[in-house]
Amino acid sequence: MNSIQMNEVERKDIPNCNHASLSKEYHLGSATGDYVCDDCGKSGFGRNWPEQEAQAKLAAKRT
C-alpha cells in the first residue's frame, strides 16, 4: 500500500474507473482516514469505499 500527500493528487476524469489501486492519504504527516485511487485521483473514507460506492449505485438503480 502506498501513501500520498493530499496536495500530490491530480484528479483525472476516468469514466467507470474501478479504483483497483488505492493509496492511503496523509495531510501534514497525519493519516486522514481516506484512500485515494491511484488511477483517477478520487478519494473516499476507508479502504473499502469503492465497494460501498458500487453497492450504493446498485441500490439507487433498484428504486
What are the domain boundaries of the chain?
2-62
pLDDT at 4: 63
pLDDT at 16: 87
pLDDT at 12: 79
Here the cell at position 51 is 465497494
Q: What is the mean pLDDT of each run of 10 residues along the chain (63 residues)?
A: 63 84 90 92 92 91 80
pLDDT at 29: 87
β-partners of residue 26 are 5, 31
pLDDT at 3: 67
pLDDT at 23: 92
